[in-house]
Amino acid sequence: MPDYNGIVEHIVKRLVNQPDKVEVTSERNNGGAVMVTISTAVDDVGRVIGKRGATINSVRLIAKAAAIKPGEKVDVDLA
């Protein structure tokens, strides 16, 4: 299983102004999908979302691309 936390955290920490406030957690739900949750400082939420959600969608796409080879399902959410 790829390190989805590490992948997402690496990307998000370089986007925000307060990288020390970034927390990325993951858990596997009953269906077997990995749910990755991003938590940032309130001021940085807009930077992670991006214009019309383009940045968060790109992060989701990268995580899903990492999940193709092992055949897993990954969901990325911003808390």
User: Is 27's pLDDT higher than 90?
Assistant: yes
Q: By the 8 A CB rule, do 71 and 3 touch?
A: no
pLDDT tens digits, one per residue of 38-79: 999 999 999 999 999 999 999 999 999 999 999 999 999 999
Is residue 5 very low, low, confident or very high in pLDDT (cuts 50, 70, 90)? Answer: very high
- Mean pLDDT of the region 9-25: 97
Is residue 32 very low, low, confident or very high in pLDDT (cuts 50, 70, 90)? Answer: confident
* Residue 1: predicted pLDDT: 74
- Residues found in the chain: 79
Q: Compute the chain's Rg from CA coordinates.
A: 12
